[in-house]
């Protein structure tokens, strides 16, 4: 069952839905309590904690070029913490302003990192409900993780937003028309991260930093950098193995996928048919909404971030509201 989304009448187009919140919405301040997790291979992944320590746990996974300061992630953390959730922002390996130690970096297929982080959270918070939310790349790698882990997944529910179910068609699309603007913006951020990281961190065999920094499209960048740094044969191998669509049949927990058919970074043909998905996956498909946009209007006519409301509503409908939120509601009644 889907929940109606009605775009703000002044922001009906895909580009307005996508670009305006990303470029002009101030990022809400979140006073993250940082925790630097030492990985088994000698690297470090930073997570930030925010909200009630004893609340149910919600892991938040950013998209490509994102970090703990990403607007959508911070806004969701603030809203969910106010509802009584203990939010854990995951700054994936190599994301953020400080380079990681190894050549390896986060990518659409790095599900071993996400599985390890979710297991760490389960070990630290064994007696509470746990859930996860991922946007774009974060949603893709979350769904891949859940599909690979199946019944072993240490979370009780999940939400994924604007995911590239099949990467290769999206990469091809980003080389056409106005989609090239998004590709250029994302590549600029990725190249800045590469410059920060090398040479303090040596490149593996096969990686070519000059070609990566000169790349005009994702395929060239991924062939020169992403693939050799992350044990893929080449960009095609990366896209084939990392795309989340092929892993959805293995997802066993209640999961909602929110997606817009007008997403300007993707093509509608990548979206799986609902009847091919397991019964525990709800495909919430909308004609409009853009990429990680979904801006509606409130009763006063002002823009309202529909996603941030619906994520909390859906999770609590499946898992129950935190006790602190229930107590606050009773007191205000």
Q: Which of these, 312, 319, 323, lies nearest to 133 by C-alpha position?
A: 312
* pLDDT at position 324: 58
The answer to whether the beta carbons of residues 89 and 51 sit under 8 Å apart is no
* pLDDT at position 325: 53
The region of weakest confidence among 269-278, 305-314, 318-327 is 318-327
The CATH number given to 1-166+251-319 is 3.40.50.1820
Average pLDDT, the chain: 94
Q: Reply yes or no on whether 263 is catalytic.
A: yes
Mean pLDDT, range 2-23, rounded to an integer: 91
pLDDT over 50 at 177, yes or no: yes
Number of Cβ within a 10 Å radius of residue 82: 14
pLDDT over 50 at 333, yes or no: no
Q: Which of these, 148, 130, 152, lies nearest to 318 by C-alpha position?
A: 130
Summarised one tens digit per residue, pLDDT across range 94-115 is: 999 999 999 999 999 999 999 9
User: Checking DSSP bridges between strand 44-50 and strand 86-91, what pairing results, if any?
Assistant: antiparallel
Which of 105, 136, 162, 296 is the catalytic position? 136
pLDDT over 60 at 89, yes or no: yes
pLDDT over 80 at 3, yes or no: no
What's the rounded Cα separation, in Å, for the pair 133 and 139? 7
Structural tokens at position 192: 């800045």
The answer to whether the beta carbons of residues 197 and 99 sit under 8 Å apart is yes
Q: Which of these, 85, 2, 1, lies nearest to 294 by C-alpha position?
A: 2
* pLDDT at position 327: 44
* pLDDT at position 137: 98
The region of weakest confidence among 215-224, 309-318, 319-328 is 319-328
Summarised one tens digit per residue, pLDDT across range 227-283 is: 999 999 999 999 999 999 999 999 999 999 999 999 999 999 999 999 999 999 999
Mean pLDDT, range 4-26, rounded to an integer: 93
Q: Which residues contact 331 (CB under 8 A, 6 or more apart)?
A: none
* pLDDT at position 331: 36
Q: Reply yes or no on whether 136 is catalytic.
A: yes
Q: Which of these, 287, 263, 57, lies nearest to 154 by C-alpha position?
A: 57
pLDDT over 80 at 2, yes or no: no
Mean pLDDT, range 53-76, rounded to an integer: 97
pLDDT over 90 at 201, yes or no: no
* pLDDT at position 332: 37
**What is the domain partition of the chain in residue ranges?**
1-166+251-319, 168-242
* pLDDT at position 158: 98
pLDDT over 80 at 314, yes or no: yes
Which of 222, 263, 284, 286 is the catalytic position? 263
pTM greater than 0.85: yes
What's the rounded Cα separation, in Å, for the pair 149 and 112? 10
């Amino acid at each position: 069952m889907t929940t109606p989304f009605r775009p703000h009448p002044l922001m009906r187009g895909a580009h307005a839905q996508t670009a305006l919140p990303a470029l002009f919405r101030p990022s809400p301040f979140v006073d993250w309590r940082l925790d630097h997790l030492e990985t088994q291979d000698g690297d470090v992944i930073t997570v930030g904690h925010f909200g009630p320590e004893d609340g149910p746990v919600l892991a938040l996974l950013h998209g490509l070029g994102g970090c703990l300061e990403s607007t959508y992630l911070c806004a969701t953390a603030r809203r969910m913490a106010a509802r009584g959730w203990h939010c854990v922002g995951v700054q994936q390996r190599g994301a953020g302003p400080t380079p990681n130690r190894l050549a390896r970096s986060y990518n659409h297929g790095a599900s071993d990192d996400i599985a390890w982080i979710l297991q760490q959270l389960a070990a630290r918070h064994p007696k509470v409900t746990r859930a996860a939310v991922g946007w774009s790349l974060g949603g893709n790698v979350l769904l891949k993780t859940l599909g690979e882990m199946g019944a072993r997944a240490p979370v009780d529910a999940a939400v994924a937003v604007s995911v590239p179910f099949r990467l290769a068609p999206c990469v091809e699309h980003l080389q056409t028309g106005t989609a090239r603007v998004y590709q250029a913006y994302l590549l600029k951020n990725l190249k800045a991260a590469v410059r920060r990281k090398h040479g303090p961190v040596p490149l593996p065999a096969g990686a070519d930093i000059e070609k990566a920094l000169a790349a005009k499209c994702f395929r060239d960048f991924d062939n020169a950098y992403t693939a050799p740094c992350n044990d893929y044969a080449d960009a095609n191998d990366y896209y084939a193995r990392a795309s989340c669509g092929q892993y959805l049949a293995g997802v066993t927990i209640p999961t909602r996928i929110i997606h817009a058919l007008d997403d300007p970074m993707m093509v509608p043909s990548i979206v799986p048919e609902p009847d091919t998905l397991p019964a525990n996956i709800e495909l919430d498909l909308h004609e409009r909404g853009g990429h990680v946009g979904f801006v509606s209007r409130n009763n006063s006519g002002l823009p309202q971030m529909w996603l941030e409301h619906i994520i909390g509503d859906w999770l609590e409908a499946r898992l129950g509201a935190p006790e602190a939120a229930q107590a606050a509601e009773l007191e205000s009644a």
